[in-house]
Structure 1
């Protein structure tokens, strides 16, 4: 008897429906075709043990299974349940009515219980697109898949639950998640708050500007000055994610199995990889490509602590994703594109000793040592960082002050208002949402200066020896400062503040 059941395969962050054809005929043998990997081939042992331990068995006949389309590689153990249900139906051990309405995925243990799978959300989205009514999968993934409307998600603990469901002995209750109410209920709960930060008012202002315009930022300061503390609080002042952004971010995390029992991600991601990370782990890839840290931080923040300690090759592979806001991984037979629109926040000590050039400090470094340390970061990478700011240690009187600083929620209101101005400004452009994404044409259109502002910028560039690459960055940042103040024009004081945020372009800042 021939039976067709349906599963799903994930490529990149999109799913493809897999048709599993099971044919049982006279003879002996178990034949699995359709480009399965080793984990899929080993499924026969797991299925056999799981069925036997639950009072069922593999039929002692010739079993031929084809996984179509046969030219796509099938990976992982998540097809165990699909294959097992196909075998049981083809051998008439369970009823096969309306099986075409079901998408079935799950990894079997030897006792028949189910292990969680990766990529449940993309699979559920594809199932709804292709008109499936039901999606059977492990209970641990049910909340994640139930984010998708108009699809009945049936979370199960074991293969026995599935058998009873099809034999109409015991119905599985669908998992229901009110996506919109859950999403809006969890938006206003930042884990870290700017009110915890003592002093550093100028740096907080700088972080607010970076958040308002989506600008990449680098913090330069000695150990203990608060660089990491400030960076961890940046997501709390970014505008809340839209439902579309939350779904897109959750899909990426689902593919790598980081959303079990969590459902929809409500907070913007914050990723902080160690400086020993490889270039493949950062941008994604591998023999069977997976998203890297830059894609996991999509719609959020990527924090690189101690930037000069990262390998040069790791930093250089970030240049293209920073510009294009997506990363493309090419193999001989296929190409996968992962989104990577993130804010880069980097921190670094000014020198190997950790201190600036200061004659009063016995640990201070010379300008030459500072320059050698800084030269570990390439010019093209620094060119993609809009804001450079020096962070100095907090004095005792600020540390001992009992008063709370301004909360993240209050700062976020100003940031969100500025982002709304930018969204309206760029509504005619498809992939342009905030000031940091502007190219030369938009800079010339939206960052026009008065004669007074032009003169100020000219004097600053000549006197402070600012590099040519600083020009456009200053205009972008000054546009954001004007948006925060609800000014349609860029005024001279906006330019002067933006100039302060280009420390690494000024000759002589090393001392």
Structure 2
């Protein structure tokens, strides 16, 4: 047989389309050609495959070798096609049997010695393969490097066969006995519930803790403004620990995004992502991009927390790219030759100083900034972006006597219990968190009583809110009512929600 056909997967954003690897051997001047829109990493596989076959004591055919990666219009990148190309050459040259190749998909980068090195995106590829099998009814197994077995094994019922070398894979197909066959990967027991820093470590700041509890219950975004050293970063680091526990589907979505950058670890299974990019980050670093688009910080924070410290120090153009993902929960990256969609359903927690020197409102009265300087500093955050942040709170400096006390705050576990009860009410009522309610759903589920509506109308008139701000206040009030176990949004719930929505310029 001079032709061998194998299956593999490419990566295109979060998608992992099937790739057919066709290897043909023909007479003529010896050559090795790869076609099918291969990028540099794929073209270099010729040298890796040749050395791996020779060092594994196989014969490299002195013939005209043509490898076609179909479909031809789909760009192919990375070294994941090394393994199927090497196996195709061996099957086409009849150095190994090829009658079982159609039952498997293959991915793996080869070292020059024939060892299999880990690849990125193994979880995304396995997930795509399993979904395709559900649609077609044809189940395939997946052979990939052992280092990727744990993450690929997170896809329930997927048949994963990890291997350490090219020789092991060849022995699997050459042997009819069980001894040399690859063993199917068995999923390990799920790690214990992840641990996070505890809110009990934070002294005082009861108002900020209350606001973060509300934000965690309803999935709301928060901006914390206050002098340096008041605990804003400390509160943000502990915020993931009070979020509702991730479902299996949410954990799989988050892990699949992490696997695209080789950043996933099985030890972090079901742990909420926490991303805190530096304020010098570019727009591409934040939303993703590149010639072969990869996820940025907002997608790596999917189903978790994106913390932006020193918010006004970010470039304004960088901050503006957050506006659409905050509304839609996904990001589309368009390039001349490619377009990629990534999920970006993150919870934004931001922190900032109230003025250039940072000490506006400090108990020591150290601020010497003029009103114009304060206004220019706060104006670095555009109105449309500020309008999309549900809650805007002040984190004040603690008196010295409170700082000298032992930390005796409420532990995260107790806060989490209240958060999960409130979130369960939301799922029971509308099947989603309050932050995701549409306009029609707000009218249905967030209607306040008569006294609450009156105070809301007054606040709208005085504070000149937009329709978006009005709806966000209603959603926050709905969350406050859920925490109180109230079926109807009352005056007290509306009043508290308004306090979390005071315009930053008024502070």
TM-score by length of 2: 0.93
Match of residue 192, structure 1, among 181, 185, 197: 197
SS at match of 1:388: strand
CA shift for structure 1 position 460: 4.4
1:138 matched to which residue of 2?
A: 145
CA shift for structure 1 position 25: 2.1
* 1:312 is aligned to 2:316: yes
Match of residue 33, structure 2, among 31, 34, 57: 31
SS at match of 1:96: coil
CA shift for structure 1 position 459: 4.3
SS at match of 1:313: helix
1:65 matched to which residue of 2?
A: 67
CA shift for structure 1 position 72: 1.1
Match of residue 172, structure 1, among 154, 162, 182: 182
CA shift for structure 1 position 241: 0.5
Match of residue 367, structure 1, among 365, 371, 377: 371
Cα pair 1:15 1:126 within 8 Å, conserved: yes
Cα pair 1:6 1:103 within 8 Å, conserved: yes
Cα pair 2:199 2:238 within 8 Å, conserved: yes
Whole-Å separation in 1 of the counterparts to 2:363 and 2:204: 25
CA shift for structure 1 position 368: 2.2
Query: Equivalent residues in 2 for 1:30-49 (5 A)?
Result: 30-49=32-51
Change (3 A) 1:86 1:241: same
* 1:236 is aligned to 2:241: yes
CA shift for structure 1 position 57: 2.9
**Higher mean Cα deviation, 387-396 or 402-411?**
402-411
Cα pair 2:111 2:117 within 8 Å, conserved: yes
Whole-Å separation in 2 of the counterparts to 1:201 and 1:380: 29
Alpha-carbon deviations, 1:1-25, whole Å to 9, x = none? 1111111111111211111111112
1:113 matched to which residue of 2?
A: 115
Whole-Å separation in 1 of the counterparts to 2:156 and 2:219: 32
Whole-Å separation in 2 of the counterparts to 1:491 and 1:414: 19
2:96 matched to which residue of 1?
A: 94
Alpha-carbon deviations, 1:182-215, whole Å to 9, x = none? 1xx523x322111111111111111000111111
CA shift for structure 1 position 406: 1.4
CA shift for structure 1 position 64: 1.5
Change (3 A) 1:264 1:13: farther
| Cα RMSD after superposing both structures | 2.0
2:125 matched to which residue of 1?
A: 123
SS at match of 1:55: coil
Cα pair 2:200 2:407 within 8 Å, conserved: no
Q: Any unmatched runs of 5+ in structure 1? A: 428-432
Change (3 A) 1:253 1:467: same
Match of residue 403, structure 2, among 399, 406, 422: 399
Alpha-carbon deviations, 1:48-78, whole Å to 9, x = none? 1112222123111111211111121111111
Change (3 A) 1:459 1:331: closer
SS at match of 2:266: coil
1:147 matched to which residue of 2?
A: 154
Alpha-carbon deviations, 1:480-505, whole Å to 9, x = none? 11110010111111122112112325
Cα pair 2:363 2:399 within 8 Å, conserved: no
Whole-Å separation in 1 of the counterparts to 2:318 and 2:386: 14
CA shift for structure 1 position 371: 1.1
CA shift for structure 1 position 361: 2.8
CA shift for structure 1 position 360: 5.1
2:20 matched to which residue of 1?
A: 19
1:444 matched to which residue of 2?
A: 443
Alpha-carbon deviations, 1:325-364, whole Å to 9, x = none? 1111223454322111111100001111111156953344
Alpha-carbon deviations, 1:408-454, whole Å to 9, x = none? 11111111111111122223xxxxx1222233333332222333223
Change (3 A) 1:424 1:23: same
**Higher mean Cα deviation, 497-506 or 118-127?**
497-506
Whole-Å separation in 1 of the counterparts to 2:268 and 2:360: 44
CA shift for structure 1 position 280: 1.3
Whole-Å separation in 2 of the counterparts to 1:334 and 1:465: 44
Whole-Å separation in 1 of the counterparts to 2:335 and 2:460: 45
The count of corresponding residues between Structure 1 and Structure 2 is 496
